[in-house]
C-alpha cells in the first residue's frame, strides 16, 4: 500500500476566504494539498519553501538541485531550471539574481528574465555609475542599465572608474591592448586605438616657471 501523506510543515494561509494549504511529504517528495485534501501541487519536489517568503503568493521549489516558483493555485510560474535564485531587490528593485549553467542573470517579479543568464560575473549598480552595472563574459566587460539594456557593449578587457583621468570619462582597453575612453552616456569619445594615454598636467609648465624665477 502506498504510504499516506504526512503533514511536514506548518499550514500556510492563502485565499481571502480563509482556505489553508498544507505542505505534505510522500516518498521523500514534497507537495501541497488544500484543507479539503485536494492536491494543489503533486509531491514531486525535493523541497518547498513557505509561500510569501521570497515573493507574494509564490513558493520557491527545488527539483534535482534546480529552483523555480509555484503560486498558491499550484501553477508553475517559474520553471525549475536555475541553480540559484537570490532574494528580490538585492541588486535592483524588482530583480532577483539567477544562475543557470554557471552563468549570471536576473528575473523580474513576473518571473521573466530581464537579463539573460549569460554572464560570468556581475557587479552592482553604483560601483561605476549609479545607473549602470558592470558585467563580464569571456573576459570582456560592459555595462547594463536598470532596464537590463546594454548601454556599453561587452567588448573591453579593462574598464577604469569614471573620473580617474578626466571627469565623466572612463579609460578602457580593448582586445588588442589599445586604449581609449567612454563617457557616461556609453559613447566611445576617444577611439580605442592608442598604445598609451597619459593625463596632461601642468608639471612641465610649472617646472619651467620655477627655473626662470
pLDDT(9) > 80? no
For the segment 165-178, the average pLDDT, to the nearest whole number, is 95
pLDDT at 35: 86
126-164 pLDDT, tens digit per residue, is: 999 999 999 999 999 999 999 999 999 999 999 999 999
For the entire predicted model, the pTM comes to 0.83
How far apart CA 105 and CA 95 sit, in angstroms, is: 10
Higher pLDDT among residues 13 and 62, named by residue: 62
pLDDT at 204: 45
Per domain, the residue ranges of the chain are 157-213
pLDDT at 200: 60
pLDDT(169) > 90? yes
Contacts of 167 by beta carbon, 8 Å cutoff, 6+ apart: none
pLDDT(207) > 60? no
Residue from 111, 157, 114, 151 nearest 137 by CA: 157
| DSSP letters spanning the chain | -PPPPEE-S--EE-STT--EEEEEEETTEEEEEETTS-EEEEEEESEEPPTTSSSTTEEEEEETTEEEEEETTS-EEEEEEESEEEEETSSSTT-EEEEETTEEEEE-TTS-EEEEEEESEE--TTSSBTTEEEEEETTEEEEEETTS-EEEEEEESEEPPTTSSSTTEEEEE-TTS-EEEEETTS-EEEEEEES------SHHHHHHHHHH-
pLDDT(201) > 60? no
For the segment 34-51, the average pLDDT, to the nearest whole number, is 92
How far apart CA 199 and CA 30 sit, in angstroms, is: 63
For the segment 27-47, the average pLDDT, to the nearest whole number, is 93
pLDDT(16) > 60? no
Higher pLDDT among residues 92 and 18, named by residue: 92
pLDDT at 198: 80
For the segment 192-199, the average pLDDT, to the nearest whole number, is 89
Higher pLDDT among residues 208 and 59, named by residue: 59
Higher pLDDT among residues 156 and 1, named by residue: 156
Mean of the per-residue pLDDT values of the chain: 87
Amino acid at each position: 500500500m502506498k504510504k499516506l501523506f504526512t503533514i511536514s510543515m506548518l499550514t500556510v494561509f492563502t485565499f481571502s476566504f480563509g482556505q489553508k494549504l498544507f505542505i505534505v511529504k510522500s516518498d521523500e517528495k514534497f507537495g501541497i494539498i488544500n484543507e479539503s485534501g485536494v492536491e494543489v501541487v503533486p509531491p514531486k519536489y525535493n523541497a518547498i519553501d513557505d509561500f510569501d517568503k521570497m515573493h507574494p503568493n509564490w513558493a520557491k521549489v527545488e527539483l534535482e538541485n534546480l529552483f523555480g516558483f509555484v503560486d498558491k493555485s499550484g501553477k508553475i510560474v517559474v520553471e525549475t531550471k536555475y541553480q540559484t535564485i537570490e532574494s528580490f531587490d538585492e541588486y535592483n528593485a524588482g530583480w532577483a539574481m539567477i544562475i543557470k549553467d554557471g552563468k549570471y542573470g536576473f528575473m523580474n517579479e513576473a518571473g521573466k528574465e530581464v537579463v539573460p543568464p549569460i554572464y560570468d560575473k556581475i557587479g552592482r549598480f553604483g560601483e561605476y555609475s549609479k545607473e549602470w552595472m558592470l558585467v563580464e563574459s569571456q573576459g570582456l566587460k560592459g555595462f547594463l542599465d536598470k532596464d537590463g539594456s546594454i548601454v556599453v557593449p561587452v567588448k573591453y578587457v579593462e574598464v577604469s572608474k569614471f573620473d580617474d583621468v578626466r571627469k565623466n570619462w572612463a579609460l578602457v582597453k580593448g582586445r588588442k591592448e589599445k586604449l581609449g575612453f567612454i563617457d557616461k552616456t556609453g559613447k566611445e569619445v576617444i577611439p580605442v586605438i592608442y598604445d598609451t594615454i597619459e593625463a596632461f598636467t601642468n608639471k612641465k609648465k610649472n617646472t619651467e616657471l620655477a627655473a626662470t624665477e
